[in-house]
Amino acid sequence: MHVHFPAKALQYLHYLGIVHRDVKPANILLDRQLQPHLADFGLAEYKKNLKLVSTVNWKSTGKPTGGFHKRNMVGTLIYMAPEVLTKEIHTEKSDVYSFGITVNELLTGIVPYTDLRAETQAHTVLEMNYTEQQLTAAVVSEGLRPVLAELQSSAPASLVSLIERCWDKDPQNRPSFDDIVVELDFILEHEIGRGCMEKASGEAFISSNGVDAANFQSYQENISWFSQGKDFLKRVPTALAASTWLDSSDDHIYSPVLSWGSFASCGRRETMEDRHFLMPQLCDEKDIHIFAIFDGHRGSAAAEFSSGALPGFLQNLGSVCSPSDALFEAFIKTDVAFRTQLDSSRKCKGAVQKDWHPGCTAIAALIVRNKLIVANAGDCRTILCRSGIPYALSRDHVASCLEERERIIHAGGLVKWQVDTWRVGDAALQVTRSIGDDDLKPAVTAEPEITSTTLSAEDEYIVMASDGLWDVVSEKDVVNIIRDTVKEAGMCSKRLATEAAERGSKDNITVIVIFLRPVSTAERIY
């Protein structure tokens, strides 16, 4: 049970006399083994120091100023304890409250005080019907709490009870983390463990009743296409020397200071077909970074495969190409490799669905010192914000574009008007470039368009996103939203995705935000 480890971390912090003051899901990070770790101690403070600046000590000099509250009433509104919302100082029991809210959110997948799933919600409460003042009043005076886990999940009753005690209005009634860890140990050993055994027994029962497991497998079985992509690269000769892209004579040129974050949501779709990766310091070169989004259609296989294969192809091409050429070749080779693997899987598994031809649009941004190279095939999009103004670094490859329609027809493809727009082939694909879509090759090419930009001190950030964002949020809106959001890349990504969901986006939504210079990450508070 993943929440057990953050609980132990908070137990240790409190043993040291430290209050975290910002416990929330965004500050619980997973390592490569998917083990959780408590993170972001930017607001943490020793309890003894908090007592020295308490409101009690200010009584002799009158009411504390707004500046006092801004320095000490920190955190994220929807996870803040009632006593903190009434402008009292954080204590260990305030962390307990935030922990309870966090565990409940992790179990239900629902952001506190909303009825939408976590993946479509933002860091703030600005999109909700409550104003910040109304939400604060409801939490403090009316005892408002999030939808409890027992209504949304199969969580053990004892864990649900623990959550409720953690978010009790009276801090004295909340358990300490010593008590929480003991209870979680018991739940993990007796209830979660028993549940796993019952599930295993159920699976054994199905098998013992003569059901052939192979009959459950179809062509759409859970093949790990991401692993297939990475494994394929093991058979590709390596020529890794991306450092050749770095010219030693450029040591004194402008070099951006990067910070990045992403957020992905299935949006209003039932399944998530987008994939993305963030790969700073490509090939261990601190001045080479790559970020990419793959927007799957007709299944997620192409997007999964590409997210595993494209970085490797790019590295393997490092010694023989310029960065632009490397990106171009990486797209082409990833497409060929995926279609080869797909054909091989069909032959091995049997083509249960003869018309299943997955594909994905793709966009990648390669940063080499002060050079930004963007490769795009499809309708994902990248913009650069320079001095507060958005500049498009890619164009959408869709059949409604006359130039793309003519290219498709010249390549022997069919374009026709269907219902509301131009579409390609019998598959009625709206995009005209993609990885995969083998039934529409060569007209639907994987060849990307490349743009190259020299970055300068005027450049603020890059936003990359799938069409789930761009369908409903304009480039100008993106700049305005980031302007009004805490300047932390992950928060900005989440806020943009939430805005798209709130505006009615009907597609998967993936957003990457890359800041190009140092920014303040102070929380937005009263």
User: Quick one: three-class SS letters along 209-232?
Assistant: CCCCHHHHCCCCCCCCHHHHHHHH
Question: What residues are labeled active site?
Answer: 22
Tell me the pLDDT band of 151, cut-offs 50, 70 and 90. low
Lowest mean pLDDT segment, chosen from 69-83, 109-123, 210-224, 263-277: 210-224
Dist CA 23 CA 403 (whole Å): 51
**Predicted confidence (pLDDT) at residue 404 exceeds the cutoff of 90:** yes
The CATH number that domain 4-190 falls under is: 1.10.510.10
Dist CA 272 CA 387 (whole Å): 34
Tell me the pLDDT band of 221, cut-offs 50, 70 and 90. very low
**Predicted confidence (pLDDT) at residue 239 exceeds the cutoff of 80:** no
Cα distances (angstroms) measured from residue 271 to each of 48, 95, 222: 49, 35, 14
Q: Which residue has the higher pLDDT, 25 or 209?
A: 25
Dist CA 133 CA 345 (whole Å): 56
- What would the mean pLDDT of 73-95 be, rounded to a whole number? 84
Class of domain 225-397+433-515: alpha beta
pLDDT in tens, 270-310: 788 999 999 877 766 778 899 999 999 988 999 999 998 99
- What would the mean pLDDT of 470-480 be, rounded to a whole number? 96
**Predicted confidence (pLDDT) at residue 120 exceeds the cutoff of 50:** no
Q: At what angle do helices 92-108 and 177-186 cross, to 10 degrees?
A: 30
Q: Best-predicted range by mean pLDDT among 134-138, 219-223, 405-409, 416-420?
A: 405-409
Question: What contacts 225, CB < 8 A, 6 or more positions away?
Answer: 300, 301, 302, 304, 305, 308, 341
At residue 64, the pLDDT reads 45
**Predicted confidence (pLDDT) at residue 195 exceeds the cutoff of 50:** no
Q: For the whole prediction, is pTM greater than 0.85?
A: no
Q: How far does CA 397 lie from the centroid of its chain?
A: 24
At residue 222, the pLDDT reads 59
Tell me the pLDDT band of 487, cut-offs 50, 70 and 90. confident
- What would the mean pLDDT of 321-343 be, rounded to a whole number? 91
Task: Name the token pair of 8.
Answer: 């132990």
- What would the mean pLDDT of 325-346 be, rounded to a whole number? 90
Dist CA 369 CA 461 (whole Å): 15
Cα distances (angstroms) measured from residue 257 to each of 20, 388, 461, 472: 28, 18, 10, 30
pLDDT in tens, 40-70: 888 888 988 886 655 454 444 444 444 444 4
Beta pairing class for 389-392 and 381-386: antiparallel
Lowest mean pLDDT segment, chosen from 78-92, 279-293, 369-383: 279-293
**Predicted confidence (pLDDT) at residue 245 exceeds the cutoff of 60:** yes
The C-alpha torsion from 280 through 286 and 287 to 292, rounded to 10°, is -10
Average pLDDT, the chain: 80
Lowest mean pLDDT segment, chosen from 194-198, 382-386, 445-449, 517-521: 194-198
**Predicted confidence (pLDDT) at residue 31 exceeds the cutoff of 70:** yes
- What would the mean pLDDT of 428-452 be, rounded to a whole number? 95
At residue 284, the pLDDT reads 64
Q: Which residue has the higher pLDDT, 377 or 487?
A: 377
Task: Name the token pair of 311.
Answer: 């970085």
Nearest to 398 by CA among 303, 451, 452, 467: 467
Lowest mean pLDDT segment, chosen from 6-15, 98-107, 145-154: 145-154
Dist CA 121 CA 501 (whole Å): 8
**Predicted confidence (pLDDT) at residue 215 exceeds the cutoff of 90:** no
CA atoms within 13 A on the CB side of 312: 21
- What would the mean pLDDT of 444-453 be, rounded to a whole number? 97
Query: Where are the chain's structural domains?
Result: 4-190, 225-397+433-515
Contact yes or no for 361/298 (Cβ under 8 A): no
The alpha helices in 53-129, defined as continuous H runs, are 66-72, 82-85, 92-108
At residue 220, the pLDDT reads 45
